[in-house]
Amino acid sequence: GAVVSQHPSRVICKSGTSVKIECRSLDFQATTMFWYRQFPKQSLMLMATSNEGSKATYEQGVEKDKFLINHASLTLSTLTVTSAHPEDSSFYICSAFARETQYFGPGTRLLVL
C-alpha cells in the first residue's frame, strides 16, 4: 500500500502555544489530503480537506482560524493548531488517496497542558 507519514508522532505543548503537524505522502503525489481528529475511545471525525495550491475546506463546526491548513506541495500538508487549549488534546490523523484507496498516516498525539 501507499505510505503516508506524519511528524511528530507525539507532542506536548503549553496552553496558548501553536503546534504544527506535518503529513507527507512518501511514494505518491496527493492533490488532496484530509485531516481527521479522534478523541479517546471515539471514532474519527473529518475536520477539513486540504487542497494543493488552494484553500482548505472545513467541516461544519471546525474553526478555520484555529486549525490552519497549508498544502504547499503535492506531498506535504500541514495542520497548525493555533493557541492550543487542553480541549484540543486529541489524536490527529491525516489521509490521502493513492490508486483509488484512501491511506491514513500513523497519527499525531497532541497533549496540551
Partner 1 sequence: GESVGLHLPTLSVQEGDNSIINCAYSNSASDYFIWYKQESGKGPQFIIDIRSNMDKRQGQRVTVLLNKTVKHLSLQIAATQPGDSAVYFCAENNIGTSYGKLTFGQGTILTVHP
CB closer to partner 1, 39 vs 83: 39
Q: With beta carbons less than 8 A apart as the criterion, state whether 106 and 38 touch.
A: no
The site map against partner 1 for 9-48 (x = CB under 8 A) is -----------------------x-x----xxxxxxxx--
CB closer to partner 1, 46 vs 83: 46
Verify binding: residue 64, partner 1, rule CB under 8 A. Answer: no
Rounded to a whole number of angstroms, the minimum distance from the CB of residue 27 to partner 1 is 15
Q: Which stretch binds partner 1 (CB under 8 A): 12-20, 65-73, 78-86, 98-106?
A: 98-106
The count of other CB atoms within 10 Å of the CB of residue 80 is 14
Verify binding: residue 1, partner 1, rule CB under 8 A. Answer: yes
Q: Per the structure block, which three cell numbers stand in for 53?
A: 495550491
Q: With beta carbons less than 8 A apart as the criterion, state whether 75 and 5 touch.
A: no
DSSP for 16-37?
T--EEEEEEESSS--SEEEEEE
61's torsion region: left (phi>0), alpha (psi -120 to 50) or beta?
A: left
Question: Which positions lie near partner 1, rule CB under 8 A?
Answer: 1, 4, 6, 32, 34, 39-46, 49, 93, 95, 97, 101-107, 109
